[in-house]
Amino acid sequence: MTTEPSDRTIILHLLRGAVPERADEISALWSQYGHAVEVAPSTKGVTMNADARRIQFDTKTIDFFWLLGFSTWRAVEVYAPALEFATATGIPLNHALGIDDERGQYKFDYKQRIDCAQSLVAAEQTAEISWPADIPKPTSDRESLGDVEHMAAFDLVALALAFSLLHEFRHVMYCADNSSPSTLPEEEIACDIYARDFMTSGLAAYAKQHGHKFAEVHQKRAMGIALAAVVIHAMTPTHAHWGNRQYPPIVERLTAMIGGYSLPAGSSFWLFTACLLIALMRQDDRPLDIVANSTREMVEILLDRLR
């Protein structure tokens, strides 16, 4: 007789798979805190939170990670050509976007996907929205996707979800140990930093042991965390973007997740992340009269402009 794994075991396996070099440490912490994982009934909004006893989420929120992740992946095809042209020639980004004649259809398709993902937040059930035909339905079977780009998006969504669960697990530890920072906004930032450090420290030894290039492993983890930042931005109500008693300003969270990486200037992380940030700026109708000499410099300027 085969026993189906519990929700807690499924999440544990996800975290161990996303951060395999710390799998034993994850399992030890999982046992030490003995918290539950609760799958709540789906409802309007998003559900992902934690206390001393459990981490709670609903399946619609997991679907939201998937749909927004696969949709946001396409931001690269919308903005990368103009971004690369702008950084190569030194012209302002908004000028480069204005002369990219082929971007129109890509932009239209991208906006439709993002709108669909955002509509999922307001729905009570995933079945209420019209799922985009070119985005596969959520699955745990990566190989069944059969498409290199879809499998790449799958990997980043898994890393983004792992980041968010590690963030919630830090809340569990704070509550259980009665060691929370003095304010809720400080705790949110501390949980973001914990999750980022957990996923990116110790990579050199892991890469060497398994014959991977450190920069490539670091790049992939960082891209997954950048995607998590965009999902968290979308999950945060607009009225809370400037911060309140519960949450810090959203740009502080984005900076804690995205800023300060030591990846090489030519890393794909900078291009990918710049495209994500450009998309956020466009959603908020913010000016993009930015001149940058590299995609890395563009990321730094965009993060500063989001303040």
pTM of the entire structure? 0.94
Give 170's pLDDT tier (boundaries 50, 70, 90): very high
Whether 240 has a pLDDT exceeding 90, the answer reads no
Give 239's pLDDT tier (boundaries 50, 70, 90): confident
Stretch 207-217: mean pLDDT, rounded?
Answer: 88
140-154 pLDDT, tens digit per residue, is 999 999 899 999 999
Stretch 128-144: mean pLDDT, rounded?
Answer: 93
54-58 and 36-40 beta bridge pairing: parallel
Whether 271 has a pLDDT exceeding 80, the answer reads yes
Could you count the other beta carbons within 10 Å of the beta carbon of residue 280?
A: 20
Stretch 261-274: mean pLDDT, rounded?
Answer: 94
Judged by DSSP in three states, 239 sits in helix
Judged by DSSP in three states, 57 sits in strand
Residue-level pLDDT at 1: 44
Domain extents in the chain:
61-305
202 or 261: which leads in pLDDT = 261
Task: Name the phi and psi angles at 4, rounded to 5.
Answer: -70, 135
Structure tokens that stand for 141 in this block: 């079977």
Whether 2 has a pLDDT exceeding 60, the answer reads no
29-59 pLDDT, tens digit per residue, is 999 999 999 999 999 999 999 999 999 999 9
